[in-house]
Structure 1
Amino acid sequence: MQIVNLEQKLNLFTETWTPKIIGELNGQHVKLAKLQGEFVWHSHQNEDELFYVLKGTLIIKLKDKTVTLKPGEMYIIPKGIEHKPIAHEEVHVLLFEPAAIKHTGDVTHELTKEKLDWI
């Protein structure tokens, strides 16, 4: 076990839409990501995912509403719900997701990452 400093970990990478794994517990990965621009519409049929905003404003479009998250706020996307994250400026997020989750769900896109790095 070790202390994880989120700011130090965020300083280790610059890529956007490429989550980095920083921990694992009970089959869940704890990830950090930098987001900027628009992601792809997608869903995760068997997994919920949690977005916790550390920096910036994250917009999450859902089919029936739009959620806007500011630093210190979180939102859980239930499994099977189609969503599209949008970051007009660079946003830093902490994610909690099952280890088996696919980056873009069942959608294959140029932003899809097959394997995520541990940092």
Structure 2
Amino acid sequence: MHTAINLRERTANVQGFWNPEHLLTLDQSHSLKIANIKGGFIWHSHPNTDEMFYCVSGGPLRMELCTTAKTPEDAEKTGADEVVVLNLGDVFSVPMGMQHRPVAENETGILMIEKVGTVNTGDREGDERTVYVDEKA
């Protein structure tokens, strides 16, 4: 049976912060994931994929970008040289390979679209915040 997914209801049921859950897969190549976030995440990039963010609830979400850094360690030293603010209903795509750090002062529900197999910590896979999501569910 085919049914619609209500993003606000689904994000409201996600347990904890920075704990992405799989929604569905498109063309066996891209995964749609939801999460609730609050506070700041770690600097990281995704060398093999763009990453799209949609602000589903709460907000704002600040996407800190370090356009000159090649590594997360460089981004930590340099800090953000650009910030994109996503309010409720806004969407933004982080370009492949760009060091970024999502930050939300208030609880914020997000939808992410990225290639199947992409982990939330990107080039920092194995960090204590890495979450491996079952994308077959």
Give the TM-score taking structure 1 as reference length.
0.90
Are 2:132 and 1:114 equivalent residues in the alignment?
Answer: yes
Query: Relative to 1, partners in 2 of residues 1:10 and 1:87: Cα closer, same or farther, differing over 3 Å?
Result: same
Alpha carbon RMSD of aligned pairs, Å? 1.7
| Identity score, percent | 32
Pick the structure with more helix per residue.
2
Are 2:52 and 1:60 equivalent residues in the alignment?
Answer: no
Between Structure 1 and Structure 2, how many residues are aligned?
A: 119
Q: 2:11 is matched with which residue?
A: 10
Any idea what SS the aligned residue of 1:106 has?
helix
Q: 2:22 is matched with which residue?
A: 21
Q: Is the 8 A contact 1:19 1:116 kept in 2?
A: no
Mapped to 2, the partners of 1:35 and 1:118 lie a distance apart of 23
Q: Is the 8 A contact 2:31 2:135 kept in 1?
A: no
Residue segments in structure 2 that go unaligned for 5+ positions in a row = 67-80
Residue segments in structure 1 that go unaligned for 5+ positions in a row = none
Larger Rg: 2
Mapped to 1, the partners of 2:89 and 2:9 lie a distance apart of 18
Give the TM-score taking structure 2 as reference length.
0.79
Q: Which amino acid aligns with 2:132?
A: E
Q: Which amino acid aligns with 2:60?
A: T
Q: 1:49-93: per-residue Cα shift (whole Å, max 9, x none)?
A: 000001211001111301111011111001000000001010111
Q: Is the 8 A contact 1:21 1:32 kept in 2?
A: yes
Q: More displaced, 13-22 or 33-42?
A: 13-22
Mapped to 2, the partners of 1:98 and 1:89 lie a distance apart of 27
Q: 1:20-59: per-residue Cα shift (whole Å, max 9, x none)?
A: 1111102111111100011000000011000000121100
